[in-house]
Amino acid sequence: MIFPIDHPDVRRAVDAALAEDLGPGDFTTSTTIPADLQAEARFVAKQDIVVAGSELLTLLFDSPHIQKNSGDRARAGETIATVRASARTLLSRERVSLNFLQRLSGVATLAAKFVEAIEGTGVRILDTRKTTPGLRILEKMAAAAGGAVNHRMGLYDAVLIKNNHIRLAGGVRTAIERARSTQKPIEIEVRTRAEIEDALACGAHRLLLDNMSPQQAAVEIRFIDHRAETEISGGITLENVRAFAEARPDFISSGAITHSAPAVDINCGIYAL
């Protein structure tokens, strides 16, 4: 799993992070550290993690030595990457580097926990659009590094009719009929048996069972009986995801993977050469 570092959104995110932190210059480093001092930075995991975003170091430094790629597991104490460069460069880019590595590896690590929690069920974990503004592609690639499946990247690449669409359109049938013009597979959120029946009758490709209990979801999935793909969402946690998976949907989506992932502990030690 390699981050697409040539993607314009990735480069834009890295450039914006540098500009935000550096501003007119790193006055502390430029006044305290000799310009000719060379050093080595070592990025080391301080806990067991799934790495994500290490490839971004190639956009921040010349020729970093990456030892753990996105999707690799790193044990506490293992080195993720080393970089040799001007001490000033290392110090000025240390925080931006760590912010990306800690945040993205946190997303990957949490995604991996969700995937592990449902192992053996055949259900696939999906991420959502509940991402940090400006960092969607990075956070979704991090989720994929942890084993989750990317859902739609944005509003433009899939049809997902939610309850607000249904209400404003005037019902399930009307919403689906109007969405056919996109010529894309149609997924629709359903909350009642009547909505499920309408969606199936209209040929919806996937039904999103939202905010149901595992028991409720299991009943509806048996009723659907493979006439459409099924996805469960709403209130999914590490503690209950296994129970939902045992209802045997095709997918379970969790916004927590991106909106609630805690940053992991990674240290950057910088040493003079």
Residues with catalytic function: 95, 130, 162, 189, 210
Tokens of 93: 């880019």
C-alpha 220/C-alpha 259 separation (Å) is 28
C-alpha 172/C-alpha 198 separation (Å) is 6
DSSP annotation of 10 reads: H
C-alpha 38/C-alpha 89 separation (Å) is 9
Residues 228 and 207: beta-carbon distance below 8 Å: yes
Picking from 127, 179, 175, the residue whose alpha carbon sits closest to that of residue 158 is 179
| Element (DSSP H or E) covering residue 102 | helix 87-117
End-to-end CA distance of the chain: 32
Q: What angle do CA 139, 236, 13 make, to 5 degrees?
A: 10
